[in-house]
Structures are given as C-alpha cells and as structure tokens.
C-alpha cells in the first residue's frame, strides 16, 4: 500500500518547525514557554513513531532471552518484576542490569536524546 504524503512524521516535523522557527520568535513569556513545550512534545511523538516499534521488538527479544520464556510485553514485564522482587535474578545480576540500562537508554532516546550525549 502506498503511503499518502505528507506522512505522519512529515506532519509532525512541519508543525514542530513552524513552532520553533516562526511562532516561538514572535512569542514571549508563558506563551513562548508553552510553544517550546509543544515543539518538544511533537519531537517526542516523532521519535516514538520512528523508533518505538524497533525498541519494543528489541526489548521483547531481550526479555525473552533474560527470562527464558515467551509472552506478551506485559506478561514478560510482570514476570520480570516478580523475579526481581523474589530475588531470583540475583545470580544473573549483570545480565539484568545490562537489560535495564539498554531499556532506559532506549526510552530516554525517545524522550530526550540530549540526555544520552556525553559532555
């Protein structure tokens, strides 16, 4: 199926660009603050559309490897939480920490990738 133009990502980018480059310079005070927030939210939505499906797929595969079982993301997440609470993942502490770090970095990459940049 052909994708209609503009795509959802292109629409988000256009509105974000309008806010940042045309509206924001003309605004001041609280209105400028709100426009900046709106532009940031659009950027998050764009990154979620672009990266979200891949991150979810990678996270599901990582959970399956870590837990040695299959299921939905919610089921595996509940299993992970239960195993952590019970202390049953203590022998695999390094694997658990690596998984949680990758997961946090992936989510942070969507929410605000600037936080991942080294200073």
SS3 per residue for 25-60: HHCCHHHHHHHHHHHHHHHHHHHHHHHHHHHHHHHH
pLDDT at 25: 95
What's the farthest any 2 CA atoms get from each other in the chain? Answer: 58
pTM value is 0.81
Rounded Cα–Cα distance for residues 79 and 42 (Å): 33
Rounded Cα–Cα distance for residues 67 and 76 (Å): 8
How distant is the alpha carbon of residue 33 from its chain centre?
A: 23
Q: Are 62 and 92 in contact (CB under 8 A)?
A: no
Cα 88 to Cα 23, 44, 96, 101: the distances in Å are: 54, 35, 11, 19
**What are 84's two structure tokens?**
């952590």
Q: What percent of the chain has pLDDT over 70?
A: 97
What pLDDT digit, counting tens, does each position of 91-116 carry? 999 999 999 999 999 999 999 999 99
Q: Considering just the CA atoms, what is the radius of gyration of the chain in Å?
A: 19
Domain ranges of the chain: 8-113
What pLDDT digit, counting tens, does each position of 50-61 carry? 999 999 999 999
């Amino acid at each position: 199926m052909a994708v209609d133009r503009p795509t959802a990502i292109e629409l988000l980018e256009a509105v974000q660009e309008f806010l940042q480059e045309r509206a924001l310079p003309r605004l001041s005070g609280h209105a400028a603050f709100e426009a900046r927030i709106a532009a940031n939210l659009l950027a998050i939505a764009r990154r979620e559309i672009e990266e979200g499906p891949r991150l979810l797929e990678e996270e599901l595969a990582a959970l399956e490897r870590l837990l040695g079982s299959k299921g939905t993301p919610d089921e595996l997440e509940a299993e992970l939480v239960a195993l952590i609470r019970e202390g049953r993942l203590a022998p695999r502490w390094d694997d658990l920490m690596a998984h949680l770090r990758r997961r946090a970095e992936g989510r942070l990459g969507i929410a605000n990738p600037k936080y991942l940049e080294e200073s």
